[in-house]
């Protein structure tokens, strides 16, 4: 056997003996080229995509709270005019206190609908519901907003509480109602005093002016007997059983019976 036959092949010895860096594809920890490109592409897409946040659509506006509290504004204004300023006998002013909020609610309802549309509500209630007064609009609004946001009945509940507060205010300060309806209460005072006179044996008819608005105040009615004789009767506004009553302070200088 010759020395040439004992030597290994030249290609095998060169590949294993020659030192040097290996290619990335032959490295034991290397990933396939296609996988690396896929990872880089996914990473770039994730970095480029904006982070989306779910935006909640707001249900309540300043306008709807103003509509809800309008009864309280009315009773507060009435108390100021009747008790503080003593303007309860100004009948046109008191009518304005009652009527003006109606038109304010109408305008606020249309503005409230506009704000809801800007905030993204699909079909908010029409402002024309306020033509039927504030409760009608609040009910229609609550139904529409509840379908989209699951909210909307809070103003309706608060409006009911405001209405109860108005009734309580009228009981505490009955002059609010007397200022708005002076005619019916003047007739009530006349009938009450006439009934008292008949129980005492007298037959009279009375004509009474606008009654007082504050408990304890008095006013004068003109009494007429069947004979045609007239005299003045002093009547005071009193509180009885949580409401009001009419009490005669002075029957005048003449005798009830003929």
Q: State the pTM of this model.
A: 0.68
Residue pLDDT, tens place only, 185-214: 999 999 999 999 888 888 889 999 989 999
> Is the per-residue pLDDT at 160 higher than 80?
yes
Output the CA–CA distances (angstroms, integers) from residue 151 to 122, 133, 174, in the order listed: 15, 22, 37
Q: What is the mean pLDDT of residues 23-45?
A: 53
Tokens found for residue 239: 């509180």
> Is the per-residue pLDDT at 142 higher than 70?
yes
Backbone φ/ψ region at 11: left (φ over 0), alpha (ψ -120 to 50), beta: alpha
- Residue 192 has a pLDDT of 93
- Residue 113 has a pLDDT of 96
């Amino acid at each position: 056997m010759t020395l040439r036959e004992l030597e290994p092949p030249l290609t095998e010895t060169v590949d294993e003996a020659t030192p040097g860096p290996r290619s990335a594809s032959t490295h034991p920890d290397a990933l396939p080229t296609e996988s690396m490109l896929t990872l880089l592409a996914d990473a770039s897409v994730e970095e480029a995509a904006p982070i989306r946040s779910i935006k909640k659509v707001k249900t309540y506006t300043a306008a709807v709270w103003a509509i809800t509290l309008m009864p309280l504004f009315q009773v507060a204004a009435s108390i100021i005019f009747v008790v503080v300023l003593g303007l309860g006998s100004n009948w046109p002013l008191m009518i304005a206190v009652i009527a003006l909020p109606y038109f304010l609610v109408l305008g606020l309802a249309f503005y409230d609908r506009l704000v809801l549309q800007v905030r993204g509500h699909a079909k908010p209630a029409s402002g024309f519901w306020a033509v039927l007064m504030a409760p009608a609009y609040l009910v229609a609004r609550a139904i529409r907003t509840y379908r989209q946001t699951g909210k909307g009945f809070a103003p309706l509940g608060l409006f009911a509480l405001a209405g109860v507060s108005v009734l309580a205010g009228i009981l505490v300060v009955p002059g609010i109602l007397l200022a708005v309806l002076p005619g019916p209460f003047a007739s009530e005072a006349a009938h009450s005093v006439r009934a008292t006179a008949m129980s005492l044996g007298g037959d009279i008819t009375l004509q009474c002016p606008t009654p007082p608005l504050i408990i304890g105040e008095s006013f004068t009615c003109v009494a007429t007997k069947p004979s045609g004789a007239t005299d003045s009767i002093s009547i005071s506004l009193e509180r009885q059983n949580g409401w009001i009553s009419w009490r005669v302070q002075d029957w005048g200088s003449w005798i009830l019976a003929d």
